[in-house]
Amino acid sequence: MTIQIQDPFITTLFKTNFYNDTSKFVEAIKELFQTKAKLETQEYNLLKAYDRGELSLGQVATILNLSKEETMELLQKYDIVISDTTALIILAKSDAFSLLSNLFQKIYVLNLSRRVALPTIKQAFIPIYGR
């Protein structure tokens, strides 16, 4: 079997890690795709467990090592309804953050002439949401 590789990075890997051994290279690629498929299946099963009410959004996010927002995006990708109250809280926080951010920007612009030092958005949120 002959493989033509155009990408310099892949060519270097082929030469240095596989010593131009095509069969080892092909086996490694097969294994990579099989591993990816297994991970996607596990991811999907965790999301379905959330859908059945067996896991919370936070538990799924922790297991997948993702943020809750990223986990919500995955749920949407698989057309799984986001029903957890945590999701509503996250959305409320993001809306509140957006509203406060806009408000602080307007206050800052109004106070530019006075040169009043205002807290940053992050400083304002630390007491509310923690670090």
**What is residue 92's predicted lDDT score, i.e. its pLDDT?**
65
- Which domain covers residue 14, as residue numbers? 1-83
| C-alpha to C-alpha distance for 49 and 12, rounded to whole angstroms | 42
**What is residue 131's predicted lDDT score, i.e. its pLDDT?**
45
pTM (2 d.p.): 0.54
HSE at residue 51, side-chain half, CA atoms within 13 A, is 13
**What is residue 130's predicted lDDT score, i.e. its pLDDT?**
45
Shared domain for 20 and 69, answered yes or no, is yes
Shared domain for 18 and 41, answered yes or no, is yes
State how far Cα 100 lies from the chain centre: 24
Which of 47, 63, 83 lies at the terminal end of a domain, its last residue? 83
Q: How many domains does the chain have?
A: 2
**What is residue 21's predicted lDDT score, i.e. its pLDDT?**
87
Shared domain for 64 and 27, answered yes or no, is yes
Mean pLDDT (whole number) for 99-127: 55
| C-alpha to C-alpha distance for 36 and 29, rounded to whole angstroms | 11
- What 3-state DSSP class applies to 117? coil
